[in-house]
Amino acid sequence: MVGQSLHLVEHGSMENITLYNYFRSSTSYRARIALHLKKLTFEYKPIHLLNNGGEQNSEAYRKINPMGGVPTLVHNGHSIAQSSAIIEYLDEAFPQSYQLLPKDIVTRAHIREFCQIINADTHAYGNLKTLGYLTKNFSMKDDQKSAWLNYWMHEGLTACEKILEKSSRKFCFGDSPSAADVFLIPAITTAQRFEVDTKIYPNMTRVFDHCLKEEAFLKAHPFRQIDTPAELKI
């Protein structure tokens, strides 16, 4: 299997969890925040999305992740791909730890709606393989890339801000972090990396600033992982 070396990210108790992931991937970042919020110890296995033709494309890795994507969570021998599925699973498998979805079913629904605006309606447009396809097959130039990213990210972020106007306080839904924050912070980080202006969203900016003071979000940050290149480390 890929990612041979053992790197434990510790929180005390041993849970037999492995996370295959990549420092910069926003879906990996989501899974890391969730694990840290829940204070679950996990083994960090880096999957480099660019080296060796993309380690996610190896036959060995495709066995645990049929899309060849990151992240994949392995718990007690069960592989689970897709960050949304991982986050729901963590809440169900570890009900005694911090809950990413609250008990009230309407609020749970609104948080899931928020997460899927990012996951289903925003994320695909900015990921590596989409941009690669457009460059290769549509000869996308830099200004077209910037227009593409700005258009789709603002579509999603505008809808998120609209929800946050009503739902947010310190965090996306009230005064404690939920799955919504787990999805939002990596989305903002990606948008900023692509020079999409997120400061025009006041509620989102306030929530982002609060989250970046929280230990779980700091520990999960792309620039603080074992596979973060030295020149990016903070």
Q: Which residue ranges make up the site for its own copies (CB under 8 A)?
A: 62, 66-69, 78, 80-82, 84-86, 88-89, 92-93, 105-106, 108-110, 112-113, 115-117, 119-121, 123-125, 130, 133-134, 137-138, 140, 144, 147-148, 151, 155-156, 158-160, 162-163
Pair 32, 19: CB distance under 8 Å: yes
Measured CA to CA in angstroms, residue 119 lies from 52, 83, 109, 110, 160 at distances of 27, 9, 15, 14, 12
Cα atoms in the Cβ-side hemisphere of radius 13 Å centred on 61: 23
Instruction: Tell me whether residue 68 or residue 174 sits nearer to its own copies (CB atom).
Output: 68
DSSP string, 40-88: --EEEEE--SSGGG-GGGSHHHHHH-TT--S-EEEETTEEEESHHHHHH
Least spacing, CB of residue 232 vs its own copies, in Å: 26
Least spacing, CB of residue 45 vs its own copies, in Å: 18
Pair 168, 207: CB distance under 8 Å: yes
Least spacing, CB of residue 226 vs its own copies, in Å: 25
Instruction: Tell me whether residue 52 or residue 139 sits nearer to its own copies (CB atom).
Output: 139
Least spacing, CB of residue 230 vs its own copies, in Å: 32
Least spacing, CB of residue 51 vs its own copies, in Å: 21
Instruction: Tell me whether residue 181 or residue 214 sits nearer to its own copies (CB atom).
Output: 181
Instruction: Tell me whether residue 79 or residue 228 sits nearer to its own copies (CB atom).
Output: 79
Instruction: Tell me whether residue 55 or residue 91 sits nearer to its own copies (CB atom).
Output: 91
For residue 2, give the 3-state DSSP assignment: coil
For residue 150, give the 3-state DSSP assignment: helix
Burial of 4 (0-12, 13-18, 19+ CB in 10 A): exposed
Instruction: Tell me whether residue 85 or residue 212 sits nearer to its own copies (CB atom).
Output: 85
Instruction: Tell me whether residue 172 or residue 214 sits nearer to its own copies (CB atom).
Output: 172
Strand order in the sheet with 72-75: 8-9, 42-46, 17-21, 72-75, 78-81
Least spacing, CB of residue 100 vs its own copies, in Å: 13
Least spacing, CB of residue 23 vs its own copies, in Å: 20
17-21 vs 42-46, strand pairing mode: parallel
